[in-house]
Structure 1
Amino acid sequence: MEQVPLVDEAMKKAAVAWLTVPGAGPAYAVWCVWIDGALYVVSGPGEQVAPGLAEATTAYVTARGDHGGRIVTWPAEVSRITFGTDEWDAVATQLAGKRLNARGATEEIVTRWAAECVVSRLAPAGAPTEAGSTLPDASLAAPPPPTPAARTPRRPFRLHRVRKR
């Protein structure tokens, strides 16, 4: 697949992207690394949650620009990177090096990923579906879900009176 310059440039600068996996609910943010024309995402125990990504074959990736708003959404072909392959050896250490706040050395992280996690490769699979003038003007923000935390909390207990000034 020929690289689209906007996708390539946006993803080189991205540390976070939003994924929409068909049938897995609304879009969610993931940390990611762009290596050699593909986006790599690690998910599983001790790492980020990526609903539906491990089983998916396709997804949509949305990247934001320097201004904070989204600039491109592109379709991706999803595949899993298998431990012990040449691709795993080339990519896993780069991913571990970019992982912020990781516990342990790079080798320990890679070993844990091989045993417990899924490393997914998202390769561009066509022209962007939204970019430039085709981006929606509305915020597309979803209403917050109902929660018991929305109720007024009780006032805290005070042992002594506090003078009002």
Structure 2
Amino acid sequence: MEITRVLDAALRKAAAVWITSPGREPRLVHAHWRDDALWVISGGTEPEAPLTDGAEVTITVRSPTTHSHLVDVPAVAHLTEPDDETAQALRTARLNTRPEWEAVYRLEFGS
């Protein structure tokens, strides 16, 4: 799918995206692109992400080169328990921090 290629190219370099949930203001969150999904950690030492299990949200992605608006994409948030490899990737993606979180969401894009 074309949108997956666009997202893959942009999100491999993105460290943060804007998430808009129904009835809530858009919020900038740290995110990690892995396995054709966007992973977001929330709570603990990380900012609360405006997500709930099963929520339909809009992800706003900026261009990794120009930092201008690239695309808005609908996604569904799934509360999940990451496997050890994914949890380590999420920790590594945060670079200079030692993140601790209360929740991990896998945001999946339309089929």
- TM bucket, shorter chain: 0.7 to 0.9
Which residue in the other structure is 2:66 paired with? 67
Which residue in the other structure is 1:119 paired with? 104
Q: Secondary structure at the match of 2:88?
A: helix
Q: Tell me how large the CA RMSD over aligned residues is.
A: 1.8
Matched, 1:39 2:38: yes
Instruction: Tell me how many residue pairs correspond in the alignment.
Output: 109
Change (3 A) 1:22 1:56: farther
Which residue in the other structure is 2:80 paired with? 81
Unmatched 5+ residue regions in structure 1? Answer: 104-108, 127-165
Unmatched 5+ residue regions in structure 2? Answer: none
Cα distance, 1:43 vs. partner? 0.4
Which consecutive segments of 4 or more residues in structure 1 shift more than 3 A? Answer: none
Cα distance, 1:3 vs. partner? 6.0
Task: Kindly indicate which of the two structures has a greater share of residues assigned to strand.
Answer: 2
Q: Counterpart of 2:16 in structure 1: which amino acid?
A: V
Rounded Cα–Cα distance in structure 1 between residues aligned with 2:85 and 2:62: 27
Indicate conservation of the 8 Å contact 1:21/1:56, yes or no.
no
Bigger CA radius of gyration: 1
Which residue in the other structure is 1:140 paired with? none
* Identity level (%): 34
Q: Secondary structure at the match of 1:102?
A: coil
Indicate conservation of the 8 Å contact 1:21/1:58, yes or no.
yes
What TM-score does the superposition give when structure 1 sets the normalisation length? 0.60
Rounded Cα–Cα distance in structure 1 between residues aligned with 2:89 and 2:73: 24
With 32-41 and 7-16 compared, the bigger mean Cα shift is at 7-16
Indicate conservation of the 8 Å contact 1:63/1:72, yes or no.
yes
What TM-score does the superposition give when structure 2 sets the normalisation length? 0.85
Cα distance, 1:100 vs. partner? 2.9
Q: Counterpart of 2:62 in structure 1: which amino acid?
A: R
Rounded Cα–Cα distance in structure 1 between residues aligned with 2:7 and 2:92: 23
Rounded Cα–Cα distance in structure 2 between residues aligned with 1:22 and 1:3: 26
2:56 to 55, 58, 61: 58
